Homo-oligomer: A and B are copies of this chain.
């Protein structure tokens, strides 16, 4: 992790000094174009390996002086490339070439790494090729509360008894289970008995745990929402369960196809359906639970963004209505950081022993120190503060997105805006056929997903339905992205 000792790089100039000016071929161009040229040159130098991972860049002041450009232009270039993952900055300590670009060289079969794989949408991260990336699934990682987290880590290491460093309880640290149960009951309206709460590494692991348990009970199929997250199906497939697509309408899962499917387990996102953005109606919630009771089935509720509600009071989780039929799963991936790999599930009594034993054989339980830190964070109010902070930031970004769409792409219809980290924008066919629309956006440097990528439906109206993630983008990046998009499609 330590950057190499190199303090500068690039093509070597006379007397071994790096020739940073070689990075800027268009030295005579106007400032705006020079800024872009600098960014492209830096990007290319990293991509090609001329600037190796770990190379420390000159300070913005030095490089600006070397190149004879304004310092602001260099700062902007560093910031842009840091956001794109080419560079990494350390507060007050400089800027380095990041390792992410090189790290991506392993093939798709073994999964690429990096910061942006979305476990819900299963979107591989190729963000570095786009100027503005609206693909959903990643929160704003810069909102992670580093100093509060560091303080909690310090406190935990100072007070945790030695014994707690031993093999953990596979269900999770009792203190964390108690803290989470209280928090979830209060915020999400779940029935949260700490004895039924199992700490896990996130919704993905919750899916795998449940899949193995249900498979061992003889179930062979699981129903998933259509449209929905392809990742749900992949996770259950890894446990030997086959996926059955179940159609949604504007209210939730349609009851008849569900009943006819023969499945006895489903995965749903009722609070803010992924990706359509709808909230399930009360009738459909009730109908799903009726179905579950009738067939003796189970519902996995993926509450992936249930923490974020902007215009009305949060809808309580489905689990609160029937904790014996619903497995509730959530995580800190959207509220703190996916890299923490910490989540939870609330498990019906009947499945509890099997889920815990499966958790035990998978990994013996989650790391103790992380659990203790989160327990402290929740107990002392840090988690609520963090949620309020994210909520404010994300509401502002959503509003920026809605404003930019209204201003630059008139005639589009936006839905799913009341909650979560993404919206659905329906763009009329008059902007061209869907494929061409997306291709043009990509050419303009704007990454987007269409709703069709998440399900089997292929509407014939020619409209483009975009899934636009905004939480990880600043209001100005959002405005820029929508501007680029509008320009590209001739709006």
Contact = CB atoms under 8 A, between A and B. Distances in A.
A159 B112 contact: no
Contacts of A367: 201, 339-342, 367, 370
Interface stretch (A10-18, A29-37, A168-176, A222-230): A168-176
A158 B90 CA distance: 7
Contact of A2 (B93, B144, B150, B379): B379
Interface string A139-173: 00110101001100110111111111111111101
A357 B110 contact: yes
Contacts of A409: none
Contacts of A366: 341
A106 B360 CA distance: 14
A284 interface: no
Contact of A195 (B106, B109, B146): B106
Contacts of A171: 106, 110-111, 113
Interface in A34-74: none
Contacts of A174: 99, 102-103, 113
A365 interface: yes
Interface stretch (A116-124, A258-266, A290-298, A412-420): A116-124
Nearest to A239: B361
B341 A99 contact: no
A163 B115 contact: yes
A348 interface: no
Contacts of A102: 174
B153 A112 contact: no
Contact of A111 (B85, B138, B170, B338): B170
A44 B480 CA distance: 68
A169 to B, nearest CB: 3
Nearest to A88: B161
A103 B169 contact: yes
Nearest to A363: B201
Contacts of A150: 153-154, 157-158
Instruction: Please provide the 7 A-B residue pairs with the shortest distance between their CB atoms, ordered closest to farther.
Output: A113-B169, A115-B166, A339-B368, A88-B161, A238-B361, A165-B337, A115-B163
Interface of A: 1-2, 82, 85, 88-91, 93, 98-100, 102-103, 106, 109-119, 125, 138, 141-142, 144, 146, 149-150, 153-154, 156-171, 173-176, 195, 200-202, 204-205, 208, 234-235, 238-239, 333, 337-342, 352-353, 356-358, 360-370, 372, 375-376, 379-380
17 contacts: A1-B156, A82-B161, A88-B163, A93-B159, A110-B170, A110-B357, A112-B169, A114-B167, A115-B163, A115-B166, A116-B166, A117-B364, A138-B167, A201-B364, A238-B357, A362-B362, A369-B370
